[in-house]
């Protein structure tokens, strides 16, 4: 059973972190670890490395919370950039290049399977292409929710739009995608 997240407003969370309150760190981890891990994993492409980078990113957030300023953007955007930059620094590092060059053959089997899985990827069935045909406001939401792992609440916060609007647009986008998929299916049946 998954742990329920405790929702907290960004200013409150930032205050807790600035006060070095351990509860702030716990709330930070509980609320953002999933999405940050997903972003990091897309960059480093190794679960083990992603876990290390995520730990490093959370330490940077904790130690450098004073560098965050609300006038420059949302807290979520700031921590996302910290995680992304930490991941990019990792793959650019000399250690990373050396360790990836000296891996046993068994490790590459997993990498090949990850990059070329037997199951069909979303890209393989044309979903990304269908998404690119959506209205821009729908496309952005689908990209964030389904391809980048944001929750609808995080999308609402990130885009500064009401949660109800996000839910309505996601539902409309999915309806439009179903129509596009039905049209594609009909077209394929004609060809077969």
Report the CATH number that the domain containing residue 128 is assigned in CATH: 1.10.10.10
| 124 and 154 belong to one structural domain | yes
| 92 and 161 belong to one structural domain | no
Domain count, the chain: 2
Report the CATH number that the domain containing residue 19 is assigned in CATH: 1.10.1740.10
| 105 and 152 belong to one structural domain | no
| 42 and 102 belong to one structural domain | yes
Final residue of a domain: which of 84, 102, 117? 117
| 170 and 187 belong to one structural domain | yes
Helix (H, G, I), strand (E, B) or coil at 10: helix
- Residue 139 CB-density burial (10 A; 0-12 exposed, 13-18 middle, 19+ buried): middle
| 130 and 68 belong to one structural domain | no
State which residues of the chain have pLDDT below 50.
1-2, 105-124, 187-188, 191-192
DSSP H helical ranges for the chain: 10-18, 22-44, 47-63, 75-92, 94-101, 105-115, 127-132, 136-142, 152-159, 163-191
| 162 and 123 belong to one structural domain | yes
The secondary structure of residue 147, as a DSSP letter, is I
Residue 38 and residue 148 in contact, taking contact as beta carbons nearer than 8 Å: yes
pLDDT score, position 157 = 86
Final residue of a domain: which of 93, 117, 141? 117
Distance CA 169, CA 167 (A): 6
Host domain of residue 55: 1-117
| 143 and 97 belong to one structural domain | no
The first and second tokens of residue 18, run together, are 């600035």
Distance CA 187, CA 150 (A): 33
The pLDDT tens digits for 50-90 are 999 999 999 999 999 999 998 888 898 899 889 999 998 99
Final residue of a domain: which of 117, 152, 167? 117
């Amino acid at each position: 059973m998954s742990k329920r997240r405790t929702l907290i407003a960004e200013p409150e969370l930032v205050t807790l972190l600035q006060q070095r309150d351990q509860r702030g760190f716990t709330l930070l981890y509980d609320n953002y670890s999933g999405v940050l891990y997903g972003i990091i994993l897309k960059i480093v492409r190794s679960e083990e490395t992603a876990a290390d980078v995520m730990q490093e990113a959370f330490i940077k957030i904790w130690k450098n919370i004073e560098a965050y300023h609300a006038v420059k953007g949302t807290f979520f955007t700031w921590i996302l950039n910290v995680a992304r930059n930490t991941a990019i620094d990792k793959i650019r590092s000399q250690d990373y290049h050396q360790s990836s060059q000296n891996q046993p053959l068994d490790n590459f089997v997993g990498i090949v399977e990850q990059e070329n899985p037997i199951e069909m990827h979303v890209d393989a069935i044309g979903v990304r292409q269908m998404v690119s045909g959506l209205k821009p406001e729908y496309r952005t939401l689908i990209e964030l929710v389904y391809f980048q792992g944001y929750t609808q609440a995080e999308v609402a916060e990130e885009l500064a739009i009401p949660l109800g609007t996000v839910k309505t647009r996601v539902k409309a986008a999915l309806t439009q995608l179903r129509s596009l998929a039905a049209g594609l299916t009909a077209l394929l049946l004609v060809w077969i």
